[in-house]
Amino acid sequence: MAMPPLPDSRTEPDGSAVIRVLSYNIRSMRDDRAALARVIRACAPDLVCVQEAPRFFRWRKYASRLASATDLVVLSGGAPAAGPLLLCSLRATVVSTEDVLLPLTPGLHRRGFATAVVQFGRARLGVVSCHLSLRDRERLDQAGMLLDRLKSMDAPHSIAAGDINERPSGRAFRLLADQLQDGWSVAPWGGEHTHDARTPRQRIDAVFVTPGIEVLTCGVPTGLPGVRESDLRRASDHLPVLATVRVPAP
């Protein structure tokens, strides 16, 4: 079934910006890379918050190839952020970037944030790609660090997107949803469940925005023109989340 048309990316007469934000756990590009590129291109995003980007041998080459194949550019992240990566379209003006490593718990995977401040016309916003811990206590702590990070960014509005590694009933997810807008809850569109890609039964990936941003649509782009179900199954073990938001101008 075809999805209702998405709002186009644009700058409004009042200076606000309508942008598309895609969050995608790409499993280190170990699956069908051509399918992955086709999905991302069909979503026509202005910002992509990637999780599990390649972070070891020749990781820059893989990040560059993904950006080139999707008509985007690398913004920040990758190995220096322990996996999260940010891509953006040429529509974005980059103000600043920073890769953040989170405290390491011995025996667990190192986590981090890929962060940036960007402008679309006069609309300025912070953006963070995150991939939270598999362990409940550490995941909750990292959600708190994510909220602190958003508050510290030099921007009036912010977006955080990524693999939360728990359902909306979990403590970390609830903490984020209490202080931010959970895109799917505000403006559901498309599919809800994101994992796993072949038989999705749970929503563990999300796009969150600060209260001043208007969420127009948010969900898995199943049925979006150009997004084939076969590509979604082959591209990764997660399904992507696509949000369309309006960011106010000062």
Q: Where are the domains positioned within the chain?
A: 14-247
Q: Where are the alpha helices (DSSP H) in the chain?
A: 33-43, 59-69, 136-152, 171-179, 183-186, 229-235
Q: Residue 112 pairs with which residues in a beta bridge?
A: 101
| CA proximity to 188, closest of 206, 164, 170 | 206
Are the C-beta atoms of residues 127 and 158 closer than 8 Å to each other? yes
Give 113-160 pLDDT, tens digit per residue.
999 999 999 999 999 999 999 999 999 999 999 999 999 999 999 999
Provide CATH code, domain 14-247. Answer: 3.60.10.10
Model's pTM, two decimal places?
0.97
Place of tokens 């390649």: 54
| CA proximity to 243, closest of 69, 43, 37, 93 | 43
* pLDDT value of residue 2: 55
